[in-house]
Every structure is written in C-alpha cells, then in structure tokens.
Amino acid sequence: MAVHFNKGRALHLFDLTPMIDMLFALLIFFMVCSQFAIAERKLKVELPSGSAAMPLTSKPKELFINIDRSGGYFVRGQQISPEDLAKVLTQAALDNPVSQSVIIRADKHVAWDYVALAMRLCNQAGIRDYSASLADEPSRAP
C-alpha cells in the first residue's frame, strides 16, 4: 500500500522559481553596469575648467512702474515718458528674457487708461509676468 503525504496547499501557491530568475537577471545587470562604470573612470580625459562661468544665484529683480495721480510714469525714482517706458521694458526683457517680472503700482485716483498702457507696453516688450495694483499714494521708488 502506497503512503501519501499531505504537503499542504501552501507549497502549491507560492512558487519561488520566477523570483529566483529575476534575482539572477538583476545580479547580472548590476555586475555588467559596474564594469562599465569602472571602465569610464579609467579613461584619461582632460576636462576644461569653467572658472569664467558664474551660476545664477539670485532671482532677477522686479521692475517697478509707479503711476502718480496725474498719469506720470516713474521707474527707479525718475519720471519717464511712455516712449521711454517702452524702451526700458524692452531692455529689461532682453536682459532677462524668461524671468523678468514687472510690478505696476498706480494711484487709486488715476485713470485706468494709464495702467492699461503700461500693461500693453509690457506685452509688446515680451514681458508676460506683470501685475498691477492700485495704492493710495504710490512711492516714486520701490
């Protein structure tokens, strides 16, 4: 008479063969990659020095445009005409083509047309990061 052993159902549910195959595949992959890394470090290459290059460590400053009650434009504490404002904005956009921001501060009694003109000049200069706010008395310098 044959004897039958009950091994249980747990051995039939958990097969280790695929896990062992994956382990060997990963082992071979990392062994090959580490050999390439060693070969790359042994290659004699004279790298150029980058002493003249300076990393950008600070965010470019915002440009403040202040508009007084009579509609005069003030940049850096000096009153300028709308034509000069267009030149200043164009130069600022050329200096910082990606990250130039403009803050437009206007007196609360000024006609909105002056603020809209400053916004339009920002768009023409290629500056898309601008904001406008109305204040009781804007300062002539930031």
Low-confidence ranges of the chain (pLDDT < 50): 57, 138, 141-142
CATH architecture of 63-135: 2-Layer Sandwich (3.30)
| Opening angle at CA 33, ends 47 and 25, nearest 5 | 170
Measured between alpha carbons, how far is 126 from 116 in angstroms, rounded to an integer? 15
Tell me the domain boundaries of the chain: 13-42, 63-135
What was the pLDDT predicted at 34?
76
Predicted confidence (pLDDT) per residue in 108-137, tens digit? 888 889 989 999 999 998 888 888 877 655
What was the pLDDT predicted at 24?
93
pTM: 0.54
